[in-house]
């Protein structure tokens, strides 16, 4: 610092107050902290005309609208440039758990609030405390109207960057100028230490560095003392030039330099335990995301049939969901009472979404001609009978029409369970829209008679519906040449698989691919493991592999056996806890489904569900927001969303026959491939609300739950009487296996995961005339497994439709989107890993827009050709 040339280097200082709206306190206290912090920042501006302050989180500004004079003062400071709006999101979310679509909505609602309230948007993304950043974020941030990225985690011991100021490039080629700061919180004295540390931290190729200072976490911001300490150093000849300024100004000046290095990888991994802590909130988040997505789709379609689009209701639900994606909430690191508010809000969002779906479907269903024959006269067809329970039952139009809806833009063939109340006879028959019989089986109802539940294979057009009808007639038997479906006490078998369960452990002993005559397991599958986990909700280290025990003492029972589905239930115990797992296979589907219910009463331990696959030379692929990342299978805990995949070589263990291979005409395996010593093979594991897993060799272990102390530290020597443990009691996990020959990209894994999390739904109708046919598609993508639709909604302004797509496989794709209600088609071309959003008018005209629903901005620095 004694070098006389040091004044040629500049520190730009900007004030900040990191505010966790919820963490070791509840929301009410968070609101109080925001108000006090904003007041303090405005006071410092009045005392220091050169003082600059930046703040994120539109939700926190919305809280302050109950204090209009405070908002007016902030607006004035924004206009003078002293107050910098940064972040551009509703909150500072976690980035590993929310879906890509959720991150798009974080920007939509955050930037729109800034624009409407202050007349401008953020240009700097600021996420100092989030626990890792997936490789797809450069594109996500750019499409959010953000030009620069400022962060703190991960630290140098977690990710070794070429410099702390660099171009971060995503897998699609999008770049964003990014800076990792040395600190984002400081007490009044720490600001000097932060400046000293920043002398070595700064990017060596840059003549300027950004320093963020101010008391944080529980708010506060720069104090009078901190500012006074800065002013002392401003006059010190042994210090570089110090000036107060903005993050945006720092980046704009830095962008003019042409020698920033490029970093092409995720900014990961931090606090790997957070991928699993508080499994209940994570599952509610997944349910909320898919419920609101479906609600928007059906509400958009219902506008063509006279229903007003419920914008205010959906906005409110989305904001509830987005707020609870704040990193300390969704990552499970907050205190117990904070989660009371979380459950209320997520429950309200999901409930509102479900009501919206049902109302929109009712509107559509009312337009359908649900009669089995156009000559049926409804009034004459209505019959009333009295059951043995004294209930009057209406059989409308010679049967009960069931309208089954598919929320995804590709055809679906899935088993659906339909429950009815008005059945007064023993027999039931299911008919499709052309009055052809459909094989079904009676399934267990949650209620006692007279309610009955029928399970049958539904075939539904892309983002559309089909009418089925249940009538009073004997069930239709399977055809003589139907595929086999066998079930015994410990064996399930269909045309694709043979599953055998171990009587001693309850685990899956065999998973046999009948097509190739090969065993997929190298050990006990679907086994519930207990892991020693003596750390805190954040977790420590990269691995969770210290085995404490295995659930055992099994009770195995055949739960379902019929012409559609067969299910075995395995109940096991460990310590004070119970695991109940139902595993199902189907006659006409290769799906293998599991439903795990945990009743957990342990402390400082973790549960994993293990599948050791007999694969060699394995590559592990994990789903991330709007994409995927491939990693070597080294056993580290990894973030993953709705699916993960292991692909490698499967060793030959049998002698497949032509009959094995040709029996399943929809498969593409040749005899040469089947008889090879090693076959390219993989298995995808889908889930409905889990976000952590590890892969070691061919073994996949899905993380189910963790039980450290809420908001606490490592295992204490003397627990306090107020300590509560995470994930106690009953929780549920649905999972599915999707084995496949060859690469996962060819197996429809991404689309299967979307279907698994956004199920077919139905409404019960009565027989009536209508203008719509008994089967219809409203929107279809062809080819159907090329791109993924993540949004169909009404535009925030005007009556246009918004359609968002992304390319999931890492290769360029061309597709056609047929929007039948608008009488138009959209020809789209997406490069590898690209996200595109289209705004489509009622006249069929379309243009590409960003997440803010405005024309896409591009510059020479936005997109580069992806490097090899």
Average pLDDT over residues 438-453: 85
CB 409 within 8 A of CB 416: no
Q: Which residue, 415, 409, 417, is CA-closest to 593?
A: 415
Q: 311-323 vs 279-302: helix axis angle to the nearest 10?
A: 160
- pLDDT for 748 equals 96
CB 745 within 8 A of CB 787: no
Alpha helices in 657-757 (DSSP H): 658-662, 671-675, 749-757
User: pTM of whole model > 0.85?
Assistant: yes
User: Tokens 């559509």 correspond to what residue?
Assistant: 364
Task: Give the C-alpha separation, 184 to 548, whole Å.
Answer: 39
Bridge partners (DSSP) listed for residue 646? 620, 683
Which of the listed CATH numbers 3.40.50.2000, 3.40.50.620, 3.20.110.10, 3.40.50.1000 matches domain 4-270?
3.20.110.10
- The β-bridge relationship of strands 175-180 and 148-151 is parallel
CB 461 within 8 A of CB 780: yes
| Model confidence pLDDT, tens digit, residues 221-256 | 999 999 999 999 999 999 999 999 999 999 999 999
- pLDDT for 1 equals 41
Task: Give the C-alpha separation, 319 to 345, whole Å.
Answer: 9
In this predicted structure, which of 68-77, 146-155, 181-190, 769-778 has the lowest mean pLDDT? 181-190
- The β-bridge relationship of strands 241-244 and 527-532 is unpaired
User: Tokens 């802590």 correspond to what residue?
Assistant: 277
- pLDDT for 181 equals 97
Residue 263's Cα: distance from chain center in Å?
25
Please name the residues in contact with 26: beta carbons below 8 A apart, sequence gap of 6 or more.
Answer: 335, 337, 338, 340, 341
Could you state, in order of their start, the residue ranges of all structural domains in the chain? 4-270, 279-367, 394-477+760-764, 485-742, 778-868
CB 405 within 8 A of CB 465: yes
CB 13 within 8 A of CB 50: no
- pLDDT for 676 equals 65
Residue 619's Cα: distance from chain center in Å?
22
559's enclosing H/E stretch is strand 552-561
The answer to whether residue 862 scores a pLDDT higher than 80 is no
CB 395 within 8 A of CB 382: yes
- pLDDT for 613 equals 98
Task: Give the C-alpha separation, 730 to 707, whole Å.
Answer: 13
Residue with more model confidence, 67 or 192 = 67
User: Tokens 């932060």 correspond to what residue?
Assistant: 194
Task: Give the C-alpha separation, 27 to 743, whole Å.
Answer: 46
Please name the residues in contact with 133: beta carbons below 8 A apart, sequence gap of 6 or more.
Answer: 95, 127, 151, 266, 267, 268
Going through 353-496 in order, the beta strands assigned E by DSSP cover: 383-386, 392-395, 400-406, 412-420, 429-431, 437-438, 440-443, 452-460, 464-471, 485-488, 491-494
Task: Give the C-alpha separation, 689 to 703, whole Å.
Answer: 11
Token pair recorded at residue 569: 């239930």
Q: 27-47 vs 68-80: helix axis angle to the nearest 10?
A: 50
- The β-bridge relationship of strands 761-764 and 775-777 is unpaired
Q: What's the Cα-to-Cα distance from 258 to each of 254, 840, 858, rounded to whole Å?
A: 9, 39, 18
Give the CA angle between residues 42, 48, 49 to the nearest 5°: 90
Q: Which residue, 494, 486, 488, 704, is CA-closest to 591?
A: 494
Give the CA angle between residues 442, 447, 450 to the nearest 5°: 70
The answer to whether residue 38 scores a pLDDT higher than 90 is yes
CB 276 within 8 A of CB 704: yes
Name the fold adopted by 279-367. Answer: Substrate Binding Domain Of Dnak; Chain:A; Domain 2 (1.20.1270)
| Model confidence pLDDT, tens digit, residues 270-287 | 999 999 999 999 999 999
Q: What's phi and psi for 59, nearest 5 deg?
A: -60, -35
The answer to whether residue 481 scores a pLDDT higher than 90 is no
Task: Give the C-alpha separation, 521 to 735, whole Å.
Answer: 17
The b-or-e profile of 577-595 (16+ CB within 10 A means b, else e) is bbbbbbbbbbbbbbbbbbb
What's the maximum distance between 2 C-alpha atoms anywhere in the chain? 100
Task: Give the C-alpha separation, 269 to 376, whole Å.
Answer: 64
187's enclosing H/E stretch is none
- pLDDT for 662 equals 47
The b-or-e profile of 69-83 (16+ CB within 10 A means b, else e) is ebbebbeebbeeebb
- pLDDT for 664 equals 43
Going through 423-482 in order, the beta strands assigned E by DSSP cover: 429-431, 437-438, 440-443, 452-460, 464-471
- pLDDT for 626 equals 99
The answer to whether residue 390 scores a pLDDT higher than 80 is no
| Model confidence pLDDT, tens digit, residues 822-841 | 999 999 999 999 999 999 99
- pLDDT for 672 equals 58
Alpha helices in 723-802 (DSSP H): 749-757
- pLDDT for 525 equals 98
| Model confidence pLDDT, tens digit, residues 612-659 | 999 999 999 999 999 999 999 999 999 999 999 999 999 865 444 444
Token pair recorded at residue 793: 């909604």
Q: What's phi and psi for 378, nearest 5 deg?
A: -60, -45
- pLDDT for 670 equals 58
Task: Give the C-alpha separation, 294 to 63, whole Å.
Answer: 29
CB 437 within 8 A of CB 476: yes
Average pLDDT over residues 748-767: 97
Task: Give the C-alpha separation, 152 to 184, whole Å.
Answer: 7
Average pLDDT over residues 533-541: 96
- pLDDT for 373 equals 81
pLDDT mean across residues, the chain:
93
The hierarchical CATH code for the domain 394-477+760-764 is 2.60.40.1180
Give the CA angle between residues 136, 140, 142 to the nearest 5°: 120
The answer to whether residue 110 scores a pLDDT higher than 90 is yes
Average pLDDT over residues 101-126: 99
Q: What's the Cα-to-Cα distance from 832 to each of 11, 174, 293, 812, rounded to whole Å?
A: 39, 11, 24, 4
- pLDDT for 669 equals 54
Backbone Cα Rg of the chain: 29
Name the fold adopted by 485-742. Answer: Beta-galactosidase; Chain A, domain 5 (2.70.98)
Task: Give the C-alpha separation, 509 to 695, whole Å.
Answer: 20
Q: Which residue, 696, 607, 56, 550, is CA-closest to 279?
A: 607
| Model confidence pLDDT, tens digit, residues 647-683 | 999 986 544 444 444 444 444 455 555 556 789 999 9
Average pLDDT over residues 560-574: 98
| Model confidence pLDDT, tens digit, residues 350-377 | 999 999 999 999 999 999 999 988 766 5
515's enclosing H/E stretch is none
Give the CA angle between residues 32, 33, 37 to the nearest 5°: 120
């Amino acid at each position: 610092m004694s070098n006389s040339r040091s004044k040629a280097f500049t520190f730009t200082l900007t004030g900040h107050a990191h505010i966790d709206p919820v963490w070791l306190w509840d929301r009410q206290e968070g609101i109080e902290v925001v108000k006090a912090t904003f007041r303090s920042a405005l006071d410092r501006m009045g005392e220091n005309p050169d003082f600059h302050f930046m703040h994120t989180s539109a939700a926190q500004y919305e809280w302050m609208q109950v204090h209009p004079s405070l908002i007016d003062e902030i607006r004035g400071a924004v206009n003078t440039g002293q107050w910098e709006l940064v972040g551009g999101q509703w909150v500072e979310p976690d980035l590993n758990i929310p879906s890509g679509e959720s991150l798009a909505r974080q920007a939509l609602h955050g930037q729109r609030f800034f624009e409407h309230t202050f007349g401008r948007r953020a240009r700097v993304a600021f996420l100092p405390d989030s626990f890792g950043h997936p490789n797809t974020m450069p594109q996500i941030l750019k499409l959010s109207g953000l030009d620069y990225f400022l962060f703190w985690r991960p630290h140098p011991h977690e990710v070794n960057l070429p410099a702390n100021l660099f171009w971060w490039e995503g897998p699609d080629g999008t770049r964003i100028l990014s800076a990792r700061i040395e600190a984002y919180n400081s007490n009044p004295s720490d600001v000097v230490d932060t400046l000293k540390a920043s002398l070595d931290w700064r990017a060596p190729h840059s003549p300027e560095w950004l320093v963020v200072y101010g008391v944080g976490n529980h708010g506060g911001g720069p104090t009078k003392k901190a500012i006074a300490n800065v002013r002392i150093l401003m006059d010190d000849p042994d210090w570089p030039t110090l000036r107060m300024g903005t993050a945006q100004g720092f980046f704009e000046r830095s962008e003019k330099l042409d020698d920033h290095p490029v970093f092409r990888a995720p900014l990961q991994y931090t606090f790997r335990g957070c991928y699993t802590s508080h499994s209940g909130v994570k599952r509610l988040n997944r349910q909320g995301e898919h419920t609101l997505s479906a609600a928007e789709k059906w509400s958009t379609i219902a506008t063509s049939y006279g229903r007003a689009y419920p914008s205010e209701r959906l906005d409110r639900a989305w904001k509830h969901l987005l707020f609870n994606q704040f990193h300390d909430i969704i990552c499970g690191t907050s205190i117990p009472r904070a989660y009371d508010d979380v459950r209320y809000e997520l429950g309200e969002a999901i409930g509102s979404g479900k009501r919206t779906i049902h109302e929109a479907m009712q509107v559509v269903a009312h337009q359908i001609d649900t009669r089995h024959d156009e000559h049926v006269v409804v009034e004459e067809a209505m019959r009333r009978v009295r059951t043995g329970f004294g209930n009057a039952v209406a059989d409308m139009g010679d049967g009960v029409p069931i309208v089954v809806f598919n929320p995804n833009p590709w055809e679906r063939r899935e088993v659906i369970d339909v429950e009815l109340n008005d059945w007064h006879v023993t027999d039931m028959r299911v008919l499709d829209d052309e009055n052809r019989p459909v094989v079904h089986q009676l399934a267990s109802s949650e209620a006692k008679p007279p309610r009955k539940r029928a399970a049958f294979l539904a075939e539904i057009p892309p983002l559309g519906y089909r009418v089925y009808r249940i009538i009073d007639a004997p069930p239709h038997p399977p055809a003589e040449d139907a595929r086999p479906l066998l079930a015994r006490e410990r064996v399930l078998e269909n045309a694709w698989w043979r599953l055998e369960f171990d009587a001693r452990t309850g685990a899956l002993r065999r998973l046999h691919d009948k097509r190739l005559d090969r065993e997929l397991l190298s050990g006990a599958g679907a086994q519930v493991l207990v892991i020693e986990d003596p750390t805190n909700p954040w977790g420590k280290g990269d691995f969770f592999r210290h085995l404490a025990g295995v659930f055992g003492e099994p009770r195995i029972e055949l739960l379902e056996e019929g012409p559609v589905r067969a299910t075995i239930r395995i109940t096991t115990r460990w310590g004070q806890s119970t695991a109940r797992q139902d595993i199902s296979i189907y006659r006409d589907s290769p799906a293998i489904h599991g439903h795990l219910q945990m009743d957990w009463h342990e402390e400082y331990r973790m549960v994993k569900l293990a599948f050791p696959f007999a694969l060699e030379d394995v590559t592990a692929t994990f789903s991330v927001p709007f994409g995927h990342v491939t990693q070597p299978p080294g056993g580290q805990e990894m973030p993953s969303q709705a699916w993960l995949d292991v692909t490698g070589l499967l060793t030959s263990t049998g002698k497949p026959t032509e009959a094995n291979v040709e029996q399943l005409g929809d498969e593409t395996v040749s005899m040469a491939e089947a008889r090879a010593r090693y076959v390219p093979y993989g298995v995808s594991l889908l889930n409905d609300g889990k976000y952590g897993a590890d892969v070691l060799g061919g073994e996949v272990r899905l993380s189910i739950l963790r039980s450290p102390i809420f908001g606490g530290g490592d295992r204490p020597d003397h627990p306090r009487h107020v300590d509560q443990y995470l994930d106690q009691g009953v929780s549920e996990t649905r999972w599915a296996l999707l084995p496949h020959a060859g690469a996962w990209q060819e197996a429809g894994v991404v689309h299967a995961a979307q279907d698994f999390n956004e199920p077919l739904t139905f409404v019960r109708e009565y027989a009536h005339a209508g203008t719509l046919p008994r089967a219809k598609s409203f929107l279809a993508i062809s080819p159907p497994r090329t791109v993924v639709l993540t949004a169909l909604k009404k535009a925030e302004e005007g009556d246009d439709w918004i359609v968002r797509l992304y390319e999931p496989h890492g290769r360029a794709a061309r597709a056609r989107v047929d929007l039948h209600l608008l009488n138009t088609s959209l020809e789209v071309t997406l490069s590898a890993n690209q996200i595109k959003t289209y705004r489509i008018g009622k006249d069929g005209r379309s243009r590409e827009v960003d997440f803010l629903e405005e024309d896409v901005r591009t510059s020479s620095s936005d997109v580069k050709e992806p490097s090899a």
